[in-house]
Each structure stands twice: as structure tokens, then as C-alpha cells.
Amino acid sequence: MSKRTRPRAAPTPARDKSTSGESIRDGFIRGLAAFIGGFSLLNLLGNLLRPGYDANIWWIDFRFLSTVVGNICLIAAAVLLPLYACLPNMSRWRKDLTVLMTIALTAVAAWNVIGFYRLLHRGEIQAGVPLPFSLLVLLSLLVLVPTMLAKPRKGRRRLEWFSIAVTVAVCLFVFPLAQMICFGKTDYRRRADAIVVLGARTYADGTPSDALADRVRTACRLYLDGLAPIVIMSGGPGDGPVHETEAMLKMAVSLGVPDKAIVLDPDGINTRATVRNTIAIFDRLKIQRAMVVSHFYHLPRIKMCYQQQTREVYTVPAKESYTLTRMPYYVTREIAALWKYYIEPLAGRFEY
């Protein structure tokens, strides 16, 4: 009598539906794509509204290529990346085009990283944090390609969209924070025609706050090292009768800067006012190149404001005597301020 043979189990069919973890991961990748593509789109609109202001330089620098090539890549990113984020099931031609565009952006970001380290190696910049922002852009773009090439799974749509929304929200916070750490802590000092130092709080008795003292000391050091013949001090009213610029002037003179080398801007009540007023001073004194001194978290917004007026400045972070106790508050406030200053030109909400 023959033994009964147990029937073989049928092979398990390939799973085409993603788990919760895979849905979250896919949503994260698509959220990155949505943020990068949406940011590119806003920047392109900004370029149309304010000709000459290249907002895309904040995440990727195409200036070593022709303007036409750069614009083609950015327009493709502005269209294809949000489309991939919303509709990940792509036709063959759309997938090829999206992957090719992402690889092109990755190559440009890699070249930006190389450029940063070349400047660092030549001593043209000093990096408080030796990691360029373009390295984060490069890693983000590298993450996109494998998921784009993979066969899309049937995901848990609500979970994926939740993951996309969370990723975009996190990017809105991390993007300016990374700018502050990577760009803000990089010292671009060089020979210039002037040094601009931005004000900070002055107490009722006329004493400069620690933040203001750090900025003035840094600016004076640049002057005394012979990097520029003029120091422009911009600020607003103090807590008492002593104006911020008066306290700055007094401190600078005590540190060895002659008062004839100092120009005061008493109407620098905020960053935009300082930029507007100092540009007028640049024009009056025929200043072509300027360095700007402030705290690291403030420098990305300052740089952006000057760029919005098609003026190039070189930022120098103030040397901090110690870490400010309210630093988390200042950084968080600056994140909101940076986005506010970024959006206003797109909405046509300010005039210089």
C-alpha cells in the first residue's frame, strides 16, 4: 500500500500591497519630492515677479552652467516632482524623464558640494560646521531615485498622504534650520569696501547686550585686520534714551576703530530696513563689496534680503563670547521670519 503524499503548498504569491512601514517610507520619499518640486516652482514664480533675483540658489546653484540649462532643469523639477508625489504610478516616458531630471539635479548638487570643499581647502572660507547645505540636498535627491525606479506598490493611501504631509511640514522647519547651521556658521570674510554690522538690544542704561557686543567686536576685528576701511552700524532705538547705534559707536571707538571710519544708520529698525538703508549708503559711497556681521541664525535672512535686491554681500558670523541662553527661541523665531521674508516678494507685499 503506497503512502499518501502530502500535496505541496502552493507558492505564496508576490505581495503587491505595502505594509504600514513601507507606506510611511513611500510617503516620506514622495513628501521630499513634493517639497523640492514645490519650492522650485515658488522660486521660478519669484524670478518672474522680481527679475534678477535667483531664489533657487538657496538650494541648488546652477551658475556654473548656462541659464537655459538651469531653467530647463528647474522647470522640469517644478512639474515632475510634485506630479510624482501626487501620482506615483508613472508611465514609462514620465518615469524615465523624472529619473533623468533627478539624476541631473543630483549631479549639480554634487558639483556644489565639491565647490564648497574646494573653497574650504583653499582657505577662502572658514566653516564652523564643515558640512555644506548642498550635501543635504544631494542626499535628499539620492534617496528619491531608487523609489522612483521601483515598481509602485498598492499602499495605504491615507497613511501615505499623512506621511507626505508630515514630511513637508518637517522640511519647512528643517530647511531654514539647516541653512542657519550650514550657511550661517560659515565665515566668508574677505577684503571689501565696507563692513555692515546689524544692531541688537541696548539696555536702558546704554549697555550693549551680549549679542550686540559680540557683533560689534567681530566687526571691529575685521576692520582692525585691514579687511575694510568703513564700518556701517545699523540699528534702532534702545530700551532707554541711548540708541543702539550710539552704543555701538561708543564700543567700537573703545576697541580702536576711529569714529571717522564709522557710518551710522539709526533707522535700521528691522532687517529689511537695514538692507534698504545700507544699499543707499553703498550707492552714495560707491561701495561695491561689503561684508555683513550678525549672529549665525540671522545671516541666511540677511543674505536673502540683499539678494532680493540683486546685491551680493559676504556674511561673517559674530564670534559668540558664550551661547546665548535664549538661543532656541531666537532660532525658532528666525525660522518663521525667514519664511515670511521669503514669501513676501512672491506676494508683492513689500517695496524697497
Q: What is the pLDDT of residues 288-312, one digit of tens each?
A: 999 999 999 999 999 999 988 889 9
Say if residue 1's pLDDT is above 50.
no
**What is the distance between the alpha carbons of residues 148 and 152, in angstroms, rounded to a whole number?**
8
Which of the pair, 151 or 39, is modelled with greater confidence? 39
CB 302 within 8 A of CB 198: yes
Mean pLDDT of the region 45-54: 72
pLDDT in tens, 60-70: 999 888 888 88
**What is the distance between the alpha carbons of residues 210 and 216, in angstroms, rounded to a whole number?**
10
Among 210, 228, 209, 207, smallest CA distance to 219 is for 228
Cell of 127: 566653516
Backbone dihedral angles phi then psi of residue 187, each to the nearest 5 degrees: -100, 115
Angstrom CA distances, 282 to 197, 218, 251, 274, 302, stand at 14, 21, 23, 12, 16
Most confident of 142-151, 184-193, 334-343: 184-193
**What is the distance between the alpha carbons of residues 211 and 324, in angstroms, rounded to a whole number?**
8
**What is the distance between the alpha carbons of residues 209 and 252, in angstroms, rounded to a whole number?**
14
Mean pLDDT of the region 343-347: 74
**What is the distance between the alpha carbons of residues 267 and 251, in angstroms, rounded to a whole number?**
19
pLDDT in tens, 244-277: 999 999 999 999 999 999 999 999 999 999 999 9
Say if residue 17's pLDDT is above 70.
no
**What is the distance between the alpha carbons of residues 98 and 106, in angstroms, rounded to a whole number?**
12
Mean pLDDT of the region 149-178: 89
* C-alpha of 301 from chain center: 8
Say if residue 351's pLDDT is above 60.
no
CB 57 within 8 A of CB 183: no
**In a 3-state reduction of DSSP, which class is residue 78?**
helix
Among 317, 313, 293, smallest CA distance to 303 is for 313
Mean pLDDT of the region 28-52: 86
Q: Which residues sit opposite 232 in a β-bridge?
A: 196, 263
**What is the distance between the alpha carbons of residues 145 and 149, in angstroms, rounded to a whole number?**
6
Report the range of poorest mean pLDDT among 24-28, 134-138, 191-195, 323-327: 323-327
189-347 CATH, one of 3.40.920.10, 1.10.357.10, 3.30.565.10, 3.40.50.620: 3.40.50.620
Say if residue 14's pLDDT is above 90.
no
How confident is residue 145, by pLDDT bands cut at 50, 70 and 90? very high
Say if residue 348's pLDDT is above 70.
no
CB 211 within 8 A of CB 224: no
Mean pLDDT of the region 115-144: 95
Share of the chain above pLDDT 90, in %: 74
Apex CA 97: angle with CA 94 and CA 101, to 5°? 140
Mean pLDDT of the region 16-31: 82
Mean pLDDT of the region 123-144: 95
**What is the distance between the alpha carbons of residues 315 and 313, in angstroms, rounded to a whole number?**
6
Apex CA 302: angle with CA 317 and CA 108, to 5°? 85
Say if residue 13's pLDDT is above 70.
no
- Residue spans per domain, the chain: 20-186, 189-347
Say if residue 232's pLDDT is above 80.
yes
Backbone dihedral angles phi then psi of residue 195, each to the nearest 5 degrees: -120, 125
How many CA atoms does the CB half-sphere of 100 hold within 13 Å? Answer: 9
Cell of 82: 510634485
CB 86 within 8 A of CB 152: no
Mean pLDDT of the region 25-52: 87
CB 99 within 8 A of CB 142: no
Say if residue 196's pLDDT is above 90.
yes
Which pLDDT belongs to residue 230? 98
Which pLDDT belongs to residue 65? 87
CB 238 within 8 A of CB 202: yes
pLDDT in tens, 92-127: 999 999 999 999 999 999 999 999 999 999 999 999
- Strand extents, DSSP E, 181-308: 186-187, 194-198, 231-234, 262-265, 290-294
Say if residue 347's pLDDT is above 70.
no
What value does the mean pLDDT of the chain take?
90
Mean pLDDT of the region 215-228: 98
Report the range of poorest mean pLDDT among 35-44, 50-59, 187-196, 242-251: 50-59
